Amino acid sequence: MNYRDIVARMQARAMARPLNRRTFLMGSAVSAVGLTYPGLARRQATPVATPVFGDNPFTLGVASGEPLPDGVVLWTRLAPQPFEAFGGMPVQAVEVQWRIATDEHLTDVVQSGTAIASPDWAHSVHVEVEGLEANRPYWYQFQSGNELSPVGRTRTAPAAGTMPDNLRFAFASCQRWDQGLYTAWRDVAAQDVDLVVHLGDYIYESRVGLPPFRDDVKVPVRVALEPMDLEHYRYRYALYKQDPHLQEAHRLAPWMVTWDDHEVHNNFFGDVKRDEPAAQMVLERRAAAYQAYYEHQPLRKESIPDGPDLQLFRKRLFGDLLQVNVLDTRQYRSGQGINCNAADRTDGYCADSLDPARSLLGARQKAWLLDGFQETRTRWNVIANQVPMARIDYDADPEMQSFGGTEMDKWDGYAYERDEVVQAMSAAAGANGFHPVVITGDVHASYVWDLKTDWDDDSGETVFGTEFVGTSISSNGDNPLRDDGGFTTQCGNRNGNAHNHFYDNHRGYVLCNAGAERYSAEYRVMPNVSDDAAEAVSLATFSVDWNQTGAQIDSSCVPAVPGGES
């Protein structure tokens, strides 16, 4: 099958919506062409240099991402009417000016240029700035016609071969818009971090509900419907990205993003038989979801989608201190395994979990990850990952084991490959002297787990790394506090999982500080996500000492449940 055909059909369909004439007024010389509908055939080849807008087009904010020692990506999208087709823009390319400076008042501009916002990409722009100085902040701004964007702040990575004092970064995931407010993002924005890592479920594809705490936004039906094509995925991002707290978190720090399943659909897996007719609709939907993802994130050119394919797994270095390995555990994974009854489990696993033919990473990504561990020279290797990697028994009965619980979507559902990855990671960490730190989203709860080469070893001797699982920004909404107003914090063993150190089920994120000697992870959680006045609480901080053999966690965790420390 020809994926170019898929893309062409998709774009034609997206363009077959009438424009909103009120919101975009072209300069008089081009107005006759610019407002002629349908736009496809008569589209003007030359970008409009000085568009005149009825409304400010920077409604979705600005963002930066993918920091290197000498550059970053600057992002914005022109959308004067974000809930209209093409964000209220004409089916016509428009010029966008950008500039980047060493000061927040933009007096010392070091580079500037003009980017083209094309309707083919929803009038988004991805500027790859090069030639910047390492490990310092920069400020940037976009302009189109007479309209100015907010001023964004970003930061370059430390230079190769240097050992920076530390890197402060937040990681987060799972921000279902209609289940909670983004007050956790407001807290991230206030932290002055060097980097934000998003682990997926940036959008949810389900039909949008209308909760009372979001009643200040009028959501048109076409925006609320479950997206199946490019136009409707674009509406979903337009809805999410209008949130002021999310915009501030993007505006103030560079991000590195990866996706989980809901950027396409629930429990999505990418390994489909492409030559079967039944796969056509799946691939077409996926191509639409991937394109909308690229259009709305500060990604590099390597991630420009090619139909239903988008290169997302990648590594970024932060001097000799830390390497971030961003995984894509969705695009290449084998289909969901079949769950089984307790009686059919082998050593706590269903048959599919132990099938050597099933893969979460896909062969190419697995080789890339494991080969990379051989070459690494940084102290910390952060593996930015979607689903829980540690083996977890979800059965509270000490006589029974159910690894991964009732769903097969986690690494436990691909246990054969997981244990292969774990053994290789541990061996490389020992040989090259780095600590692996897996950071995870997906489960909408906070956990801290040891990673061990022998999951049945309760002595701690086979611990070689740490997994920090961050809760959701908003997904699942409020969990009530206890009667005394406290959180549900449990320190230590849960359900007989000796490698578990921490659990809580409120919303929030994790604030990390990687230093040369020590890596710490602070769990910041929200008492609720239905009241915009709610403030984040620091629930517990865990740290891993670099000098110790294996990852010994030095925790400050106050058990909030009587008897919770067991």
Q: Which of 201, 231, 504, 522 binds Fe ion (CB under 5 A)?
A: 201
Minimum distance from CB of 416 to Fe ion (Å)? 25
Minimum distance from CB of 496 to Ca ion (Å)? 5
Q: Which of 244, 496, 559, 564 binds Ca ion (CB under 5 A)?
A: 496
- What are the distances in angstroms from CA 402 to CA 352, 440, 484? 13, 20, 33
The answer to whether the CB of 54 falls within 8 A of the CB of 23 is yes
Minimum distance from CB of 186 to Fe ion (Å)? 20
Strand-pair category, 537-545 with 518-526: antiparallel
List the beta strands (DSSP E) in 478-552: 490-491, 500-504, 507-515, 518-526, 537-545
Number of residues interacting with Fe ion: please give it, by CB under 5 A: 3
**467 contact choice in Fe ion, Ca ion, none (CB below 5 to 8 Å, kind-dependent):** none
The C-alpha atoms of residue 13 and residue 540 are separated, in whole angstroms, by 50
Residue closer to Ca ion, measured from CB, 211 or 496? 496
Minimum distance from CB of 265 to Fe ion (Å)? 12
Residue closer to Fe ion, measured from CB, 325 or 475? 475
The answer to whether the CB of 95 falls within 8 A of the CB of 89 is no
Residue 412 touches Ca ion, criterion: CB under 5 A: no
Q: Which of 395, 407, 420, 458 binds Ca ion (CB under 5 A)?
A: 395
Other beta carbons less than 10 A from residue 456's beta carbon: 9
Over the window 465 to 504, marking each residue x when it contacts Fe ion by CB under 5 A and - when it does not, the resulting string is: ----------x-----------------------------
The answer to whether the CB of 441 falls within 8 A of the CB of 260 is yes
Q: Give the sign of the dihedral formed by CA 221, CA 227, CA 229, CA 231.
A: positive
The answer to whether the CB of 286 falls within 8 A of the CB of 308 is yes
Residue 174 touches Fe ion, criterion: CB under 5 A: yes
Question: Which phi and psi (to 5°) does residue 439 adopt?
Answer: -115, 135
Residue closer to Fe ion, measured from CB, 92 or 475? 475
Residue 393 touches Ca ion, criterion: CB under 5 A: yes
Residue 264 touches Fe ion, criterion: CB under 5 A: no
Minimum distance from CB of 396 to Ca ion (Å)? 6
| Secondary structure of residue 142 in the 3-state scheme | strand
Minimum distance from CB of 262 to Fe ion (Å)? 6
Minimum distance from CB of 443 to Fe ion (Å)? 8
Residue 458 touches Ca ion, criterion: CB under 5 A: no
Q: Which of 417, 442, 413 is nearest to 336 (CA)?
A: 413
Residue 498 touches Ca ion, criterion: CB under 5 A: no
Contacts of 281 (CB under 8 A, 6+ apart): none
Positions that interact with Fe ion (CB under 5 A): 174, 201, 475
Give the binding site for Ca ion (CB under 5 A): 393, 395, 496
